[in-house]
Structure 1
Amino acid sequence: MIPAPPTFDGAFSEFFDCYVLPNLPAVERVREFDQRLRSYLSGPDPVHPIRNVRGQERGVVCKNSGGTRMLPTDNSPVWWIHAFLMTDDAFRENDSELFERLPCHMFKLPKGLSYLNATNYHAAHIVEAKNGKTNWESWTREEISRRVLVNIHPCNMVLIAKTDWQYWGGQSNVLKWARHQYQERYGSLMTSLISDAGGEALSNENPKDFHYTYPKRSHPRTSRRFNSPAAASRIPKNPYRINRPLIRKNLFQSGISLEISTEGCRYHVPHDLLLEWVESNTGALETRSWREKGLYSWPRPSRKMTAFLKKFEL
């Protein structure tokens, strides 16, 4: 893969042509993946790899009230599928071996492939993989199949630089522009994906190009506290001592560990491990505080969080 540059300041079309297009899977590879995925999902009892929500555990198959099987994952299947489709490796004859054995945790990705995260990219979903509806036991099979498409289909992932991905990955102009380019590249595959995923119909009007730059000094409509160079320079060194459980976007992938003193106990836990646990076991990442401020904290840990933190007790 061609790595994303450490900095960029120019038109998004230039970034797309130079760094995204060369790293997109061939149309033929995506078409075969699409056919195999849809055939597998139409079978009698498929396992559905979906993005995990509260009450599910990554890598552990669960069932809705009707018995439909789900395999909760983080973003690792996206990375693995992209890396696999970029190779010339043959698909397995048995599709269940492909879709039921997808990696479900970023720390368990097989070695030997070139992954997005290692080359400074983030895969942003064109149609959201989550929609705030977490009552998974009542989901219909149709809804669960839709969630599979938005979770792992290669036409639903647009590559952007990992730097400032929290900002750019949610911008409508980025997603609309990339979606139009994917439509031109993948044609009916993209049309079907958007239709089946419940996305907004594609406009015939070409979206306007826009200025794409990172790292940014500040982002409009977001808190400067979490995006300015001054804030970045104030990120504390290990360990970050606090008196309550806390997660912050500007600590993500910083390598920082939290030293949490609460309820008479002291824990030393890597921030990103706590963040992963929070994503799988709580609804904190769907709150306004996290979305708008990049911050969420708890006055005291819940019983379930305490059980997790016990592994890191000092």
Structure 2
Amino acid sequence: MTGSIAGIERFDSPGKGRGLRVTKPFKTGELLFSTPAHSYVLSVKERGCYCEFCFTRKEGLARCGKCKKAFYCNAKCQDFNLYLSFLFLSLPSVALINHSCLPSVIVTYNGTSAEIRAVKNMQPGDEVLISYIDLLYPTDDRNNRLRESYYFSCDCQECKTKSKDKAKLKARKRSDPIEPEVISSMVRYARKTIREFRAFKQIKTPSELLEMCEQSLDEMGAVFDDANVYMLHMMYQAMGVCLYMEDPEGAIRYGEKILKHYCKLYPPYSLNVSSMYLKLGRLYMGMERYSVGVTALKKAMAIMEVAHGKNHSYLTELRKEITKK
């Protein structure tokens, strides 16, 4: 299956089943391989904004004359999209890439193709590994998510040593040390609050959701440091509500706190970090804080150049955005 892709081979990964590994060195940011999707579809909210075939975003898309629902750049894109329905694609599948909380690659998308790039220097024999989950959270949370969604637990070096858990569960410094039982109780409260917030998103008003965020942050803040991932989770939710309520100053206030710790807790070249730089950069630009806005956008671009490749359309648009001011 991988014989036609230079530098990649399939193998039996101990304890994991089938996997992929490299047979030659790859540098950080280098493309290992690209594979087109077997099938793909736009979400309802994106239909009419992107071409159904090439996923190009543009004005004036042409509505399909047959179904009257799909939109294309032109007749060529429409005809080729129908033709693709009958093709069998036999390139290496992303599904063969195993999980690790210490990933060696990242998967991003260029149109309808998945692109796999190294996020660290790789040597022959290194397994191609991605993360299936959000890596912000501590070991127990990550493995609970893996068991719930993928029916396995991770035994990577980070999960064995839990070396980052202390930083991720950081407690507030006080003259009288906080008892472990108090911290454990607050962790249970945080997890319960996160579940409740998820359930209430479709029910409560934005103002009520923001109040819920602020109350939980006050409660957790008596025990947890701002760097604690449960604090960061609720700050992120609060930032999202502020954005929805068109409160850029509130969004920036939360975003700046989040980003300070994201940079330390996420692995290098994390799209979660680049996304936060993008959000803050655009908020700064909208507030006419151009210097700090350009700085944030450039930091996002540095991560995206590794994750997406320097010639990706996202980078082209971002460069234009930066040069406007």
Shorter-chain TM range is: under 0.3
Q: Larger Cα Rg: Structure 1 or Structure 2?
A: 2
